[in-house]
């Protein structure tokens, strides 16, 4: 993807004008719309996030994009359910070799920080966020900070 398209995608995401978008029905989910800067990414208990280029999560309606520098690394749809404890998120990949696959996760918002935790390898959804002693195999943990407009 060219350098001029990613900034345009970010601008459209923030303004909420991507064609065909369907707004999520609940207030908290709408609050998730926007650009989030990745602070942490752990895979199987090990930090895997490089600071260059910065990784951003863009949420718009029921769509998500993971962007690193000037390229979209992953995209797809996200379904949120805040009525569950913990709150759940299911993401279905639209891109890459995982097209059509759905990852089961949980999420939490604390201030302007979004925490998400997914399982890999078709494992059951986590019932709670793992503490340090339980971080390990088959868990992908993300922490994002909301970017100022």
Each residue of 82-94: pLDDT tens digit?
899 999 999 999 9
The pLDDT score that the predictor gives to residue 36 is: 92
98: confidence class by pLDDT, cuts 50, 70, 90: confident
Six token digits for residue 84: 């569950």
Each residue of 3-30: pLDDT tens digit?
444 544 444 444 443 433 344 445 555 7
End-to-end alpha carbon distance in the chain? 23
Return all residues near 89 (Cβ < 8 A) that are at least 6 apart.
Answer: 78, 79, 80, 81, 105, 106, 107, 116
Return all residues near 123 (Cβ < 8 A) that are at least 6 apart.
Answer: 138
- How many domains is the chain built from? 1
Quick check: 134 pLDDT over 50? Answer: yes
137: confidence class by pLDDT, cuts 50, 70, 90: low
Distance between CA atoms of 106 and 91, rounded to whole angstroms?
11
Six token digits for residue 114: 């979004």
Quick check: 64 pLDDT over 90? Answer: yes
Quick check: 103 pLDDT over 80? Answer: yes
Q: What is the mean pLDDT of the chain?
A: 77
CATH of the domain at 25: 2.40.128.10
86 is in which domain, residue-wise?
5-146
Mean pLDDT over 87-107 rounds to 88
Question: Which string of DSSP letters, residue by residue, matches 74-87?
Answer: EEEEEEEETTSSSE
* E strand residue ranges, the chain: 34-43, 46-47, 55-60, 63-68, 71-81, 87-93, 102-110, 113-119, 139-146
φ and ψ of 6, to 5 deg: -60, -45
Q: Which residue has the higher pLDDT, 149 or 45?
A: 45
């Amino acid at each position: 993807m060219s350098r001029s398209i990613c900034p345009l995608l970010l601008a459209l995401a923030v303004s909420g004008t991507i064609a065909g978008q369907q707004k999520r029905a609940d207030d908290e989910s709408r609050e998730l719309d926007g650009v989030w800067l990745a602070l942490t990414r752990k895979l199987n208990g090990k930090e895997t996030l490089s600071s260059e280029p910065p990784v951003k999560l863009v949420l718009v309606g029921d769509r998500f994009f993971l962007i690193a520098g000037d390229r979209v690394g992953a995209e797809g749809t996200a379904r949120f359910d805040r009525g569950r404890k913990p709150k759940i998120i299911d993401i279905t990949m639209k891109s890459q070799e995982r097209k059509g696959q759905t990852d089961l996760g949980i999420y939490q918002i604390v201030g302007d920080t979004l925490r998400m935790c997914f399982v890999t390898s078709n494992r059951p959804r986590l019932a709670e966020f793992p503490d340090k002693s339980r971080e390990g195999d088959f868990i992908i943990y993300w922490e994002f900070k909301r970017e100022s407009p």
